[in-house]
Amino acid sequence: MESLPVPSVQAMVAATGGAHVPPRYLRPEVAADAVAGDGEAAIPIIDFERLLHPEVCRDESARLHTACQEWGFFQLINHDVPDDVIEGMKANVEGFFGLPAETKKQVAQERGQLEGYGQLFVVSEDQKLDWADILYLNTQPPQHRNMRFWPDKPGTFRSTLDAYSAAVNNVADRLLGIMSTNLGLQPEAIASKCVGGIQSMRMNYYPPCAEADKVVGFSPHSDADLLTLVLQVNQVQGLQVKRDDGSWVPVRPLQGAFVVNVGDILQIFTNGRYRSIEHRAVINTERARLSVAAFHSPSIHATIGPLRELVTDQEPEIVMYKTVDHESFMRLFFSAKLEGKSFLQRMKL
Ligand SMILES: O=C(O)CCC(=O)C(=O)O
Could you tell me the CATH number of the domain that includes residue 78? Answer: 2.60.120.330
180 lies in some domain = yes
> Mean pLDDT over residues 197-207, rounded?
96
Instruction: Judge whether 338 lies within some domain.
Output: yes
Q: What is the pTM of this model?
A: 0.94
Residue of the CA atom closest to atom 8 of ligand 1: 293
Nearest atom in ligand 1 to 134's CA: 9
Distance 302 CA to ligand 1 centre (A): 25
Specify if 146 maps to a domain: yes
Residue 4 within a domain:
no
Would 144 be classed as within a structural domain?
yes
Domain span holding position 113: 9-346
Give the pLDDT band (50/70/90) at residue 1: confident
| Residues in contact with ligand 1 (CB, 6 Å cut-off) | 202, 204, 218, 223, 230, 239, 279, 281, 291, 293
pLDDT in tens, 146-195: 999 999 999 999 999 999 999 999 999 999 999 999 999 988 888 877 77
Angle between helical axes of 57-70 and 157-182 (0-180°, round to 10): 100
Query: What's the farthest any 2 CA atoms get from each other in the chain?
Result: 61
User: What is the reported pLDDT for 222?
Assistant: 93
Phi-psi region of 252 (alpha: psi -120 to 50; beta: other; left: phi over 0): beta
Residue 41: φ, ψ to 5°:
-160, 150
Would you state the pLDDT for residue 341?
Answer: 74
Whole-angstrom CA distances from 244 to 43, 103, 218, 337 are 14, 43, 20, 22
Q: pLDDT of 216-273, one tens digit each?
A: 999 999 999 999 999 999 989 999 999 999 999 999 999 999 999 999 999 999 999 9
3, part of any domain: no
Q: What is the pLDDT of residue 137?
A: 98
Best mutation site among 230, 233, 258 for ligand 1 pocket (most ligand atoms within 8 Å of CB): 230
Give the helix/strand (H/E) hosting 249.
Answer: strand 248-250
Q: How many domains does the chain have?
A: 1
**Ligand 1 center from residue 155 Cα (angstroms):** 25
Whether 1 is covered by a domain: the verdict is no
| Residues sharing a CB contact under 8 Å with residue 344, sequence separation 6 or more, in sequence order | 222, 264, 267, 268, 276
Nearest to 292 by CA among 220, 218, 202, 221: 202
Do strands 258-262 and 198-206 pair parallel, antiparallel, or not at all (unpaired)?
unpaired
Q: Which of 43-47, 91-95, 139-143, 324-328 has the lowest mean pLDDT?
A: 324-328
β-pair partners for 239: 281
Distance 347 CA to ligand 1 centre (A): 22
Q: Does residue 2 form part of some domain?
A: no
User: What pLDDT shows up at residue 205?
Assistant: 98
28: left (phi over 0), alpha (psi -120 to 50) or beta: alpha
